[in-house]
Structure 1
Amino acid sequence: MIDPNYDQLLESALILSPNLRSMLVEQLVASLDDEGQAEIDSAWGEEVERRLSEVESGEVSTESGEAV
């Protein structure tokens, strides 16, 4: 069941400029992120650090964008 305020909220949101609607959408989507996303972000951060360390130590080599 949809909240009775939904239609009014949607109508008000659609009156906003495209830029403001975009900002609103970003904030609404961000509000859906839960702690699981924080764990994912943390894991990716650790992976980036690990890969950077491997490149800097010479353990792995890179290829140019043209070669790929």
Structure 2
Amino acid sequence: MEKKTRILNSALTLFAAKGYHQTTIQDIADEAGIAKGGIDFYFKSKEELLLSVVTDYYKPRPKEPRRPPGRRRTS
């Protein structure tokens, strides 16, 4: 998994569990398994990270192709 994705996923998890104000950049770095400076490389502030988490969460995702009724997935 890409480092930036790990940061975003870790931030989302911690913001949901502890709240934004109680979560530190160090908490997110520890959860993501990276150094604190690794977060600074991608995000200028915790506020920017929060905005990226929200934007990424609501980003449209590609939908799976529809299958005819009655057909089961084989994979």
After TM superposition, the score normalised by the length of structure 2 is 0.28
The one of the two structures with greater contact order (alpha-carbon pairs below 8 A, sep at least 6) is 2
Higher helix share: 1
After TM superposition, the score normalised by the length of structure 1 is 0.31
Point out the structure with max Rg over C-alpha.
Answer: 1
